[in-house]
Amino acid sequence: MISQGNRHAPRNGLYVGLMSGTSIDGVDAALVQLDAGRPSLVTALNHPIPAPLATALHRVSGQTGLDALLDLDQQVAALHADATLALLARAGVAPGDIIALGSHGQTVHHRPHGPFPTTLQIGDPSLIAARTGITTVADFRRRDMALGGQGAPLVPAFHAACLRQPRQDRAVLNLGGIANLTLLPGAAEHPVTGFDTGPANTLLDAWFRRHHPGGPGYDRQGRWAAAGRTDTGLLDRLLQDPYFHQPPPKSTGPEYFNLDWLAHPRQAGSTLPAPQDTQRTLIALTAESVTRALASALPGAAALYVCGGGVHNPVLMDAISAALGDRLPGCRVAPTSAIGLDPDWVEAMAFAWLAGRTLAGLPGNLPEVTGARASAPLGGIYPAGCDTPA
């Protein structure tokens, strides 16, 4: 643990944040200016994941061999380095101008329970540092887990720093592969909390890919789901899953919410409905699980601000607005752009911000969110050294 005497404000300047989520649809890279710890977005890009690599990552499981996993670790790192260099080329900024790079890595397994809780994000940070010439901070989750936490979600600390307002209860919803909520009470004496509510794009994308092999990999603007109808019987069975009734702290991932989970007899009954009806029901599942959780945890919420890839799915956004209107009719639903944060880059910005905090010896986790025994600086630091970027 870094002593209080060694802690100082994050150094002002440019940082890079990299995020590749469970949707495996690209590497989000954000160039961020930190001034007095406050982040502002300079530029950003989504760096595509080559189709063979994306397919291999989707297939990672407990049966994946060690050699194959180590190969993926290097391929993901090279991809993240390429994303960084492409970002800097777009901005006209040299690697030597960057103070640090925060890389979340690609989660291939997250197991916060059991006798040996663990998590694994691949993308070798030593290779990223060597190829970019930038000091890299990575492996953010495991320090929190070492302190008894879930290791996720970690972005609520960033939400709190940027978006909390006095005298207004508000929430932030990230619609990535998994949906997670950050609860920002307006009263200073009430802590910020947050948790994973359940599946968002991970099931929607997987079901779409099953029925559209060779397609774009996701249901653009929810058009396919829009032609289906919600099967209320299936929805009720899905919502009976114990995860939705488990109190926070809690986190989850596609290890749990996957197509095998969807097809389990206790969920599906004898058969699933027609494919488009199933897709529409999965939209309703995300909307219901999110809004039930918000209404229970922060019943005075005046606004729900949404970020992540799901913000571009109007069918999903309309479903959330409708479900929330039934439970919290005074709660406004809007993208985070309404309060100054581009919804596409919030998570990448967060890891740039977390890198700055780690270098300054400042905590990056919120124990009220993850359940850790204490707050702490997160991740390991991989110095750039004197290497020239490849």
Residue ranges for the known binding site for ATP are 21-28
d(CA 137, CA 143): 13
The answer to whether the beta carbons of residues 176 and 309 sit under 8 Å apart is: yes
SS3 269: coil
The answer to whether the beta carbons of residues 358 and 137 sit under 8 Å apart is: yes
User: Measured between alpha carbons, how far is residue 375 from residues 38, 116, 129, 149, 284 in Å?
Assistant: 20, 21, 26, 10, 35
Count of C-beta atoms within a 10 Å radius of residue 210: 11
Residues marked as binding? 21-28
d(CA 104, CA 139): 7
d(CA 336, CA 303): 10
Count of C-beta atoms within a 10 Å radius of residue 370: 29
